[in-house]
Amino acid sequence: MTETRVFFNFDVTADSHTLAAYRQRGGYQALEKVLKGMQPIDVENEVKASGLRGRGGAGFPTGMKWSFVNKQSPVIYLCCNADEGEPGTFKDRWIFENTSHQLIEGMIIASYALKVRHSFIYIRGEFDLPYRRLMEALKEAKEAGLVGEKILGTEFSCDIIVHQGGGAYVCGEESSLLTSIEGFKGYPKNKPPFPAVKGLYQKPTVINNVETLATIPWILANGGATYAAIGTEKCSGTKLFGVSGHVNRPGLFEKPMGYSYKKLIYEDCGGILGGKELKAVIPGGSSTPVLLPSEIETLTMDAEAVQAAGSMLGSGGVIVIAEGTCMVRLLQVLSRFYAHESCGQCTPCREGSAWMNDIITRISRGKGVKGDLERLECITKGIMGNTVCALGDAASMPVNGFLKKFRHEFEYFIEHGRSMYDGRLEI
Amino acid sequence: MSCLEEKFDQLRSVYPAEMNSSLVLPLLHLMLKEKGHLTESDAVFIAQYLDVPPMQVKEALTWYTMLYRQPVGKHVIKICRNIGCSLMGAERLIEYLERKLGIKEGETTADGRFTLLAVECLASCGTAPAMQIDDTYHEQLNESKIDQILKELS
Ligand SMILES: Cc1cc2nc3c(=O)[nH]c(=O)nc-3n(C[C@H](O)[C@H](O)[C@H](O)COP(=O)(O)O)c2cc1C
Ligand code: SF4
Ligand code: FES
């Protein structure tokens, strides 16, 4: 199959992010086709047929998510999740910087399908260039009648409101994101009710990731079935994968689902830094359990395959770790992150993530004691499944994964009071 | 405050009227830009303007990390300490910055020029190590690049 590209189908130049350039590559034709010739339900069915699954981490089928919303409800909201904060993930930022119009077009099409009058983009507060590019694009789109009142001269009107975050990782969690837009500290909420039933200001709300929504124009332009034919049977289409860590050419790649991890690391990224051996791969963002080289030998990049290997495709952030890296100190970097980002609402996550960080930090300073590893495992058991949002699980999974795959390194550190690898993270 | 209120009004027109409460964070951001750091009385001011409970705004102010509650330097250096950057030498660069500026992470230089903060993933892991100074991202850092960047700052 020749390579189909939903994102990387143009050269990045000084003005490739503009409306004129986007139009030149076929932009806003899907919107025209939808608004002038399709019913909202046809759009939803096309998305269902595409098999598109959410790109924010959980991989929930997008068309199905849309179908949960009661379209008779007088007010329905759409929120684009652009809080991109999962360590190892840097794809949404690329979309904003290079093709914001693609997201805007996707959001207007989605809003038409969902009967949304006001939609939101919750964009990470630190993002500056992405924000400016988005605001420029929105201004262009409004002036061209592509956003706002009577879009393209039809009866359909929809605004896009851009809301900047305040620097909290947990606000990427969908219910926390809504609480944050409502003007409160971003505490996640218990589910059910799910946002599709009671979301923003208690109204039915769809939350989708940037990449998910930016894929919609391609699906409507080319047909759901065409999209479904790319990738694997259960995981269709292409996806943006960000590779970071110890590779020669890190960066962002668009690949069909089902692509090989090994090919990505050794061919696309030019192999491991300094010609070193591969030690481990975190396959889908920092919270996904770490895999050994033997486990990625034939592994493909689709949700089912990675799950069968005991991890998750997540947000597509592939973190590559070379031989010689100290896994104890690396886990400390992650445990510090989760302890810092726990919102503090529920006890197991608030206390547990802090305890785990204390213990792992102690071990990584050579002060670990016998029983520490069992204590860590006990804490993860206390957290998982017992919290309001999935951050608790996200904090626990790396701990379990590291202890399972690299237990000897932790035991060595506790016994000898020092790292097997001189505490190295950098290669 | 009248000039500020004009800006507040402008922002208010962006949101549907029934979403008054959504303005809490945008207004805090706006005020931070004007004042450099925020105090409890700023939160109360916003609460009064929006007619929402002062506690709601105070809670938001103390919860979001981008909302500084202490004076910060003329330039704020946020250097990433998370996994992708650590694998590419972030710890070494944080120490380098600490030595170069003569302060610890979290502190401000005596002349008030720089505040150094170690932050979590900036979504630049593919171009690690990364830092953000004020609004601007700087990526694929090394010691000499940092020297150059700091030298060019006024
Ligand atoms: C702690 C936490 C952080 C999250 N951060 C993000 C994020 O930054 N961006 C995102 O799209 N989804 C994030 N998610 C997933 C969202 O809750 C949600 O599943 C997603 O935005 C739905 O969009 P999708 O169906 O298009 O994937 C996060 C989830 C959790 C538990
Ligand atoms: S699991 Fe953690 S982050 Fe999520 S609501 Fe509970 S304390 Fe907050
Ligand atoms: S880990 Fe530093 S930018 Fe992602």
Last residue of some domain: B42, B63, B84? B63
| Interface check B54 vs A, CB under 8 A | no
DSSP A126-160: T-SHHHHHHHHHHHHHHHTTSSBSSGGGSS--BEE
pLDDT at B2: 65
CA angle B60, B63, B69 (to 5 degrees): 90
Structural domain includes residue B53: yes
> What's domain A19-228's superfamily in CATH?
NADH-ubiquinone oxidoreductase 51kDa subunit (3.40.50.11540)
Q: Which residues of chain A form CATH 1.20.1440.230? A: 327-416
Host domain of residue B114: 75-153
Do B35 and B59 have their domain in common?
yes
Q: Tell me which residue of A59, A240, A206, A224 sits closest to A119, measured CA to CA.
A: A206
Beta carbon of A349 within 6 Å of any ligand 2 atom: yes
pLDDT at A293 over 60: yes
- Residue B82 CA to residue B90 CA, distance in Å, equals 8
In a domain, B69, yes or no: no
* Residue-level pLDDT at A3: 81
Mutate to test the interface with B, among A201, A325, A425 (most CBs of B within 10 A): A425
Q: Which two tokens stand for residue B110?
A: 């005596």
What is the per-residue pLDDT for B5? 87
Domain boundary among B18, B37, B63: B63
> Which ligand number lies closest to the CA of residue A343?
2
ipTM score above 0.90? yes
Separation CA A376–CA A353 (nearest Å): 10
CATH of residue B121's domain is 3.40.30.10
Question: How confident is the model over A300-322, as pLDDT tens digits?
Answer: 999 999 999 999 999 999 999 99
Residues B79, B149, single domain; the answer is yes
CA angle, B50 then B55 then B57, to 5°: 50
pLDDT band at A2 (very low <50, low <70, confident <90, very high): low
B55 contacts chain A (CB < 8 A) = no
pTM over 0.90: yes
Mean pLDDT by 10 residues, chain B (154 residues): 83 94 98 96 97 98 97 98 98 98 98 98 98 97 98 90
> Quick check: A183 and B21 CB within 8 A?
yes
A87, A126, A161: residue with CB nearest B125: A87
Mean pLDDT, residues A45-50 taken together: 98
pLDDT at residue number B1:
53
Does residue B80 sit in the same domain as residue B34?
no
Query: Pick from A394, A392, A336: which is nearest to A361 by CA?
Result: A336
The answer to whether residue B68 sits within a structural domain is no
pLDDT tens for each residue of A352-369: 999 999 999 999 999 999
Place of tokens 């189908």: A9
Same domain for B87 and B29: no
Domain count, chain B: 2
How are beta strands B114-119 and B75-80 bridged, if at all? parallel
B26 within some domain = yes
CATH 2.30.30.790 fits A238-322, yes or no: no
CATH pick for A327-416 out of 1.20.1440.230, 3.40.50.9100, 3.40.50.880, 3.40.605.10: 1.20.1440.230
User: Are B28 and B59 found together in one domain?
Assistant: yes
Q: In angstroms, rounded to a whole number, what is the distance separating the alpha carbons of residues A193 and A198?
A: 6
Residue A159 has phi, psi (to 5 degrees) of: -100, 155
**Does residue B81 share a domain with residue B121?**
yes
Does residue B70 lie within any of the structural domains? Answer: no
